[in-house]
Amino acid sequence: MTDAALLLARIAGGDRNALQALYQAQSVRLFGVAMAILRDREAASDALHDGFVNIARRAGMFDPALGRAEAWLATVIRYAALDIARRRGREIPTDDATLGETPADATQLDTLAADEDGARLRACLEGLPEKNRQGILLAFVNGLSHPQIAARLELPIGTVKSWIRRGLLSLRECLT
């Protein structure tokens, strides 16, 4: 059994010192796993923290007969990083705290219609059902991510994604 496997067995038994020792021994390598996925130091640190909370809770689930402890640890951190990546969606970090806070209104559509292509786009947008148009405007005019739109509209994220996708397909048909 490796040192990591022995430490996991001790953690499963409630040994907090073993958790600290495991963190000291593995955190640099596991931070690298999170960093490779997230490419953001703060988010990778969050993933490392979340992962070690899960490791402390689930250490008893590790079975050395199924694989190496190091691989199990990397998997826990990988899932923590992927959870953070999913929560972030396609958000792009910015210092503008007001980005996406104002809803799209008719004047924004007027701005789009300033030229011939814009007029065609506006006509196609106006032909969409309200739910599809609203989702598209929140995403592409206001810059909101799917999770942010879902929160604002108080709808499941899958519903929001479907509405936007259907709206974009309709727009493509209308514009071609």
Instruction: Give residue limits of the domains in the chain.
Output: 3-88, 106-175
pLDDT beyond 70 at 29 = yes
Mean pLDDT, to the nearest integer, of 70-99? 75
Reduced to 3 states (helix: H, G, I; strand: E, B; else coil), residue 125 is: helix
- Name the token pair of 78: 């990988």
> What is the Cα 71 distance to its own chain's centre?
23
Please give the average per-residue pLDDT across 81-92, as a whole number: 74
- 16-38 helix and 41-58 helix, angle to the nearest 10 degrees: 140
Residue-level pLDDT at 141? 72
Tell me which of 1.10.1740.10, 1.10.10.10, 2.30.30.100, 2.60.120.10 is the CATH number of domain 3-88: 1.10.1740.10
SS3 91: coil
By CB neighbour count within 10 A (0-12 exposed, 13-18 middle, 19+ buried), where does 35 fall?
middle
pLDDT for res 6: 95
**Tell me, what's the pLDDT at 30?**
93
Residue 73 CA to residue 26 CA, distance in Å, equals 9
Rounded to 10 deg, the angle between the 116-126 and 157-175 helix axes is 130
Classify 155 in phi/psi space as left (phi over 0), alpha (psi -120 to 50) or beta. beta
Residue type for position 31: F
Q: What is the pLDDT of residue 101?
A: 44
pLDDT at 105: 45
Assign a CATH topology to domain 106-175. Answer: Arc Repressor Mutant, subunit A (1.10.10)
Mean pLDDT of 2-27: 94
Read off the pLDDT of each residue in 53-79 and give the average, rounded to a whole number: 92
Closest CA to 56 of 26, 16, 94, 27: 16
| Helix, coil or strand: residue 37 | helix
pLDDT tens, residue by residue, 88-131: 764 444 444 444 444 444 454 555 455 566 678 888 888 999 98
pTM confidence score: 0.52
Q: Is the pLDDT of residue 69 over 90?
A: yes
Q: pLDDT band at 23, cuts 50/70/90? A: very high
Query: Mean pLDDT in the chain?
Result: 83
